[in-house]
Structure 1
Amino acid sequence: MLDFPNAKINLGLQIIEKRPDGFHNLESCFYPVQWCDALEVLPAAQNTFTMSGLPVPGDTESNLCLKAYKLLEKAHNLPPVHMHLHKVIPMGAGLGGGSADAAFVLRILNKLFDLNLTIEQLQNYACQLGSDCAFFIENKPVIAVERGDVFMPAILDLSGYSCVVVYPDIHITTAEAYAGVTPEKPSCTIEMILKQDIKLWKDIMHNDFEKSLFPKYPELAALKENLYEAGAVYASMTGSGSAVYGIFKGDAPANLIFPKNWLVWKGLL
């Protein structure tokens, strides 16, 4: 069975407070974009896992795809499978690619072996793999709160808009991003902001990670400004970085040029 795990962008990201468990409570709108990996899962005589595409750091055993399989294997006595992941979504970018891969493994296994797991059950398994994994089970726009694993429907319509997502070959770990954050309760919720005209988002919707990461990586601030100069109605870093996106009314400009080692995705929202 073949599927295509997709990335997500964050429309606003507010770090509200540090939790007793060491994580942070946040508020953000998760919005899927079709920058995709490719994932194939097939029944096999023994378990195998192979990868191609962008190199994935770390040892294979720590890959979230394998962890997702082992989670369901233990709970439902699954037979062996062969999994192949072709990696296209960059890592350390704030796009949730690894989380998407893990969630799609759960989704595929549920169909492949007729487990008949509900959305809620799949989300509960996904939460054991990572804070934003559960988002990719339903894979539709939500307002995420708490650790990013509690969802409310996001009421917004971005049809007619396109998006350019740029990964400037800078890997930012989650630990590095959170090290520079000072949690603060916002005066305006993401839900309230999303009800405003998108032309106003530039002044009222922010990613809290930008405050500490832009001085450290000035090319990210310059990239955001370049997207605005190219006509974006809204631009922001996504997640804990380092990918930056711009939202454009209609088609994105065709003449946007970036360094050759930067990865770029363009598409409709």
Structure 2
Amino acid sequence: MIVFPNCKINLGLHITGKRADGFHDLETVFYPLPVTDALEVITPGSLQFTSSGIPVPGDAADNLCLRAFHLLQQDFPQLQPVNIHLHKHIPIGAGLGGGSADAAFMLQLLNKKFQLELTTSQLVDYAARLGSDCPFFILNQPCYATGRGEIMEPLSLDLSAYSFLLVHPGIHVNTGWAFRQITPQAPARALKDMIQSPVSGWRQVISNDFEAPVFAAHPELAEIKSAMYEGGAVYATMSGSGSAVVGLFPKNKIADIRWDASYLVFKVN
């Protein structure tokens, strides 16, 4: 069985408080895009994880896909060992949620393959144990998110009139470092209200708190954003804590910008 975990972008991101558990409260809007990995599970087999495509850092035994399997197996010991193969296409450490998507899709794949009959609510609960962004990929629709990102409210947000340009320059932004640069502050107006304003005005009202410190440390990211606006983007932003930058352009009118040959560039029309 094979599935195709997709990425997400953040439209606005505010760090609103520091929690007693060490995490931060935030508000953001998650929006799914069809830039995907490929995740395959084969049974019967011995439990193992392999990957191809973009190299996956760290010990394979700690991969979120394996962690998702072990999490479910604690409650469903009848789960048979599986061979897991991940073809990685979504850039890692880019603020696009690729690892979280892989974990969430793994939960859903196992639920279907082994007929566990878990509800969406139950899958969201399992996903939250794997990571703050994981629950979004169970719903996988535009959502206003608060808490650590796991409290979600589906939004009626239709961006079909726009094409998306994602540019990842290969920079890795340490998420812990990025959070330490932020002084939490509640915005004057909730993001879920601002996101309902015309997209043509988002540039003036919707922001990402991480941009100031990350752009200061990596000026090339600010240059990518500026190039998108110069090329006609209606709105441009860094996604999450970075380092992918996304631009919204009028449908099928993505600018032909000459990027550094080392950059990963994705166009979604």
Q: Quote the Cα distance in structure 2 between the aligned partners of 1:173 and 1:86.
A: 23
For residues 211-226 of structure 1, the aligned pairs below 5 Å read 211-226=212-227
1:115 and 2:142 aligned: no
| Pair 1:64–1:40, CA change in 2 (3 A) | same
* TM score, norm. by length of structure 1: 0.98
Q: Which runs of 4+ in 1 moved over 6 A?
A: none
Q: Which runs of 5+ in 2 are unaligned?
A: none
Map Cα deviations across residues 72-107 of structure 1 (whole Å, 9 max, x no partner): 112111111111000011111000000000000000
Is this contact kept in 1: 2:163–2:254, CA < 8 A?
Answer: no
Q: Quote the Cα distance in structure 2 between the aligned partners of 1:165 and 1:89.
A: 11
Map Cα deviations across residues 100-128 of structure 1 (whole Å, 9 max, x no partner): 00000000000001000000000000000
1:36 and 2:36 aligned: yes
Counterpart amino acid of residue 12 in structure 1: G
Match of 2:186 in 1: 185
Q: Quote the Cα distance in structure 1 between the aligned partners of 2:255 and 2:186.
A: 39
Map Cα deviations across residues 174-230 of structure 1 (whole Å, 9 max, x no partner): 112112111111011111111111111001000000011111111011110100011
The DSSP-based 3-state class of the residue aligned with 1:128 is helix
Stretch deviating more after TM superposition (236-245 or 246-255): 246-255
Match of 1:241 in 2: 242
Measured after TM superposition, the shift of residue 236 of structure 1 is: 0.2
Match of 2:49 in 1: 49
Is this contact kept in 2: 1:252–1:266, CA < 8 A?
Answer: no
Counterpart amino acid of residue 33 in structure 1: L
Counterpart amino acid of residue 57 in structure 1: P
Match of 2:17 in 1: 17
Measured after TM superposition, the shift of residue 65 of structure 1 is: 0.6
1:81 and 2:90 aligned: no
Match of 2:195 in 1: 194
| Pair 1:254–1:235, CA change in 2 (3 A) | closer
The DSSP-based 3-state class of the residue aligned with 1:202 is helix
Counterpart amino acid of residue 101 in structure 1: D
Is this contact kept in 2: 1:232–1:247, CA < 8 A?
Answer: yes
Q: Quote the Cα distance in structure 2 between the aligned partners of 1:256 and 1:110.
A: 43
The DSSP-based 3-state class of the residue aligned with 1:133 is coil
| Pair 1:76–1:217, CA change in 2 (3 A) | same
Match of 1:4 in 2: 4
Q: Quote the Cα distance in structure 2 between the aligned partners of 1:235 and 1:127.
A: 29
Measured after TM superposition, the shift of residue 253 of structure 1 is: 2.5
Measured after TM superposition, the shift of residue 254 of structure 1 is: 5.3
* TM score, norm. by length of structure 2: 0.98
Match of 1:98 in 2: 99
Stretch deviating more after TM superposition (249-258 or 55-64): 249-258
Measured after TM superposition, the shift of residue 248 of structure 1 is: 0.7
Measured after TM superposition, the shift of residue 160 of structure 1 is: 1.5
Counterpart amino acid of residue 9 in structure 1: I
Q: Quote the Cα distance in structure 1 between the aligned partners of 2:51 and 2:94.
A: 19
Measured after TM superposition, the shift of residue 158 of structure 1 is: 0.7
Give the total of aligned pairs. 268
Match of 1:143 in 2: 144
* Paired-residue identity, %: 51
1:64 and 2:46 aligned: no
Q: Quote the Cα distance in structure 1 between the aligned partners of 2:220 and 2:146.
A: 29
Counterpart amino acid of residue 85 in structure 1: L
Q: Quote the Cα distance in structure 1 between the aligned partners of 2:72 and 2:144.
A: 27
Match of 2:177 in 1: 176
Is this contact kept in 2: 1:27–1:144, CA < 8 A?
Answer: yes
Q: Quote the Cα distance in structure 2 between the aligned partners of 1:253 and 1:149.
A: 32
Is this contact kept in 1: 2:164–2:254, CA < 8 A?
Answer: no
Measured after TM superposition, the shift of residue 256 of structure 1 is: 2.2
Q: Quote the Cα distance in structure 1 between the aligned partners of 2:98 and 2:50.
A: 17
